[in-house]
Every structure is written in structure tokens, then in C-alpha cells.
Amino acid sequence: MKRFTLALLLALAAGCNGSKPDSPVAPAASFVTLKSHKVEVAHLVRDPDRRYPRGAGILCSWDRDRFVHFFSGDSPELCDVVFLDSAGRVIEVEKLAGFSEAGITSKSEVRHALFLSAGAIRNDGLEPGGTVTFSPLIAATKPAAMPVVTVGGHKVHVETSHTLSQRQRGLMHRPRLSKDDGMLFLYPQAGERSFWMMNTLIPLDIAYFDGDGRLLNVARMKAAADPSQGGDLKAPSAGAARFVLEVNYGWFDARGLIDADGKPKAPVKLELPAEVRKLADDAE
């Protein structure tokens, strides 16, 4: 998330103090109803938009429950974030500070993230356990699935990183990752790669694949004692790699795909859907 322009978007004319407007507000096609207020929103339902929401009054939705992470980057604004389940029940209420590279990660696997101006939740009185009601248009909209890659016959839902800034950030600052999720780093061509654990809070399997998608090796990486420094924990590729997949530590061992040295026990292939292959071809 690069920048928030966080003007309060409570759609009732006198919404901030909870009083009723003099005349009714025409309903918007995309809106959510909080405890006391109606809020117009932009509904983001596919990657990469929902990974990097911009502007005020935004609802990000997924087709499955997962841990979600957002950062404010270069924005000086503070905002309220509401994490919701599939029915709109409030699971968590958080605040995202301005200029926060660390950002926030949901403590539970959730289906939606609602972004509001700072103070909107206090003004409304919404609390965990309450309910946010979706407008008919939002309720009828089916969020797009995350890209799915297959590794040795096993599926992984991935966030793709194909730009320089995305690859530099990676999974930094995230304290948790859903078991079927991962991050796939895409490069325009194969080359020697080496990742390290700077600002990485969770242990990871870092898997390197060549240009044809053949697994070269997996580096089993634990978090550094001081993640802000990263230590000397380096994870090199065993050959020229074009694709790098990060998943939770032990993912490859649990599926019997690698030996004690992190080498494939038998040939392991990374299979990419067409849209991910195109991202790789267009990668920076």
C-alpha cells in the first residue's frame, strides 16, 4: 500500500457525531454499513490491486480465508483497518500508522480488509464481534482467486513479485503466513540468486527453480536472532534460477520432495499458469 488520502468517507451527512442527516443520502452501488454509518467504498477483488490498496474507503476481498498484510509505505496518514470474515463479522480492528514499512498483519485468517479514516471506528462504535453489512453489489461480487502454482503436484496460492520493489520487499515484516500460501519471485532470465533473512520474522523454505521450472535446491532458513540485521543467514541457489518460491519452513520436507541437503529426491517441476508466466516474461 503506497499512499492513503484518508479523508473520512462516512456517507451520512452528519456521520462523524452519529446524528441523523436532514435528508437521506442516495445509496451507492458499493457501500458497507457499519454499526451506525454507511460508507461508500471501492471494492478491490483481484491482485495486485487488493495487495496495495490506495485511497480512502477501500474494501479488499479474497475468495478464501488467509492471513493478510498491508503497509503504509510513504504515506504520513494513520488509518483504521477492520478485518472481517466471509459474513462481514468483525474479527479484528487495527490501526495502520503512517510511514510504516513494517505495516500490519491480521492475527487471524480473514476474508476482507476494510480501510477507513483514522477515528472512523471510534466515531461509529464498531467493535470485534460486530457486523459490517455489504451492499447487494458487493455481496454478489465474487473475488478472484489468487494465482496458483503447482510444485511436484502440490498447489500453492502465491503472491507474485515481478518488479524490483516487490522483490526487494518480499515477505519482510510478516509474522505469519497461511499454510497454503507463498510468495513467488519472478525474474526476466535465469541467474545465480542469493536471498537472506533481513527483516524476515518467520522461518521459510526458499526454493530455487531454473528457467524450465526444475527444482534446483531448497534452503531451509530460520529467522535471524535480530531480524532487523538479518545476520549472515544467506540462502544461495545451486545454479541459475529464474523462479524463487518462499513458503513456510518444512513445506518441502512435509511432502517428501527434498533430501537432507535440500536437493530434490526426484525431479520436481514448478508449473505456472499462463498469467504468471506472462508476468515472468514482463518482469523487471
Q: How far is CA 95 from the centre of its chain?
A: 17
The type of residue at 29 is A
Cβ atoms of 81 and 75 closer than 8 Å = no
The type of residue at 12 is L
In this prediction, residue 75 carries a pLDDT of 81
In this prediction, residue 11 carries a pLDDT of 30
Residue 241 burial by Cβ neighbours in a 10 Å radius (0-12, 13-18, 19+)? buried
Answer whether 15-140 and 148-281 agree in fold: yes
- Span 148-281: which CATH code? 2.60.120.1140
pLDDT tens for 143-184 read 999 999 999 999 999 999 999 999 999 999 999 999 999 999
Q: How far is CA 69 from the centre of its chain?
A: 5
In this prediction, residue 60 carries a pLDDT of 98
Residue ranges of the chain with pLDDT lower than 70? 1-28, 55, 231
Residue 242 burial by Cβ neighbours in a 10 Å radius (0-12, 13-18, 19+)? buried
Euclidean distance between CA atoms 181 and 108, whole angstroms: 14
The helix/strand/coil state of 281 is: helix
CA dihedral 152, 153, 159, 162 (to 10 degrees): 50
CA distance readout (Å), 269 to 153, 212, 220 = 8, 8, 19
How many angstroms separate the first and last alpha carbons of the chain?
A: 20
In this prediction, residue 14 carries a pLDDT of 25
Spell out the domain ranges in the chain. 15-140, 148-281
Show the cell assigned to 18: 452519529
In this prediction, residue 20 carries a pLDDT of 33
The helix/strand/coil state of 138 is: helix
Is the overall model pTM greater than 0.85, yes or no?
yes
Number of H helices, E strands in the chain: 5, 17
- Span 15-140: which CATH code? 2.60.120.1140
In this prediction, residue 73 carries a pLDDT of 85
